[in-house]
Amino acid sequence: MTCRWQELLSILPPWMRERVNYIGRETLQELRLRIGAPPELVLSGQSRWLDRLITIEDIQFCINAASRYSPWAADSQSLGYLTASGGHRIGLCGQMISKDGKVTGFRSLSSICIRIARDFPGISSGICGEGRSVLILGAPGWGKTTLLRDLARILSQKHSVSVVDSREELFPTGFQRGKRMDVLSACPKDTGIEMALRVMGPEIIAVDEITAGEDCAALRQAAGCGVKLLATAHAGSVEEFRRRPIYRPLWEAGIFDTCIVLLKDKSFREERMPV
């Protein structure tokens, strides 16, 4: 298992680092900081709280450290998250600023949720992704990204894989990459897919979390070019995936051959996509 643990500790306020290191080094999944409440450490499904209350300064420290004191380099804040060095994702919550119906940032933050990125090489070895387009389904926090990362890495031993890592979470610095893998990071998914197709000549394109119609259109276009796809989506089952309107174009086009459905206990089952 790989985890950029020091990078995580470095974005926490100094008073919290030692305690989080002691309690959560092996099992920490999420760290939730809410102003006026003690920090919540989610460890393999159970929670533990530290004894000091979180202040606005603590939240600000985390945001500054995660963005490396560079708000201009972290424009994903308007999308409600930040990716810290090491691939740890920080979800933001608070009072937002909207202009012309579009969210442009946060006026004030009230809580953040830090999700710890961990890499488990070999967890997807039971999945046969050879010559197929694979869709990984699961609810948030069930391990879609972890599974995709490993599957892409394994397939890249034999095939040329282009990874479109829009949030820099799949292969942050320090995570082992595959032998024939090219990673396009910090790039919108639809643009990234198009660029990878045009310039990298991939056999497989891997993309995390399809969330918009543009992503679906780009995937359809890539599939039409003879490229196999690896992707993840938020859905608890194939039926849920089918019912979500945003995914209808993908379903109707029958792009994916195999579906991996993740379960809450991090196990998964493989299903053939109905034709």
Partner 1 sequence: MSIKCLGVILVIGSCAGFGFSAAMAYEKQEKTLYQLLRVLDYMSCELQYKLLPLPELCRQASRECEGVVHRVLSALASELERQMEPDVQSCMQIVIEKIRMPSRRIRRLFLLFGRSLGKFDLAGQLRGLEEVRTACERELRPLTLQKQNAIRSYRTLGICAGIALAILLI
Chain positions contacting partner 1, by CB under 8 A: 10-11, 14, 57, 60-61, 64-65, 67-73, 75, 105
**To the nearest whole angstrom, how small is the minimum distance from the Cβ of residue 37 to partner 1?**
20
| Nearer to partner 1 (CB atom), residue 80 or residue 236 | 80
Spatial neighbors of 194 by CB under 8 A, at least 6 apart, are 218, 221
Cα separation, 38 vs 55, whole angstroms: 9
Pairing of strands 268-272, 181-185: unpaired
Q: How far is the CB of 214 from partner 1 (least distance, A)?
A: 23
Contact 219, 246 (CB under 8 A): no
Beta strand pairing status for 204-207 and 2-3?
unpaired
Tell which residue, 112, 107, 105, 125, has the closest CA to residue 83: 112
The span from the CA of 135 to the CA of 207, in Å, is: 10
Nearer to partner 1, 75 or 130 (CB): 75
Report, in Å, the least distance between residue 11 CB and partner 1. Answer: 7
**Helix, strand, coil shares of the chain as percentages rounded to 5?**
30, 30, 40
Least distance (Å) between residue 35 CB and partner 1: 15
CB of 240 to partner 1, least distance (A): 37
Q: 65 or 93, CB closer to partner 1?
A: 65
Pairing of β 161-165 and β 181-185? parallel
Tell me how far, at minimum, the Cβ of 32 lies from partner 1, in Å.
Answer: 20
Closer residue to partner 1 (CB): 68 or 269: 68
Q: Burial letters for 124-137: b for 16+ Cβ neighbours within 10 Å, e otherwise? A: beebebeebbbbbb
Contacts of 100 (CB under 8 A, 6+ apart): none
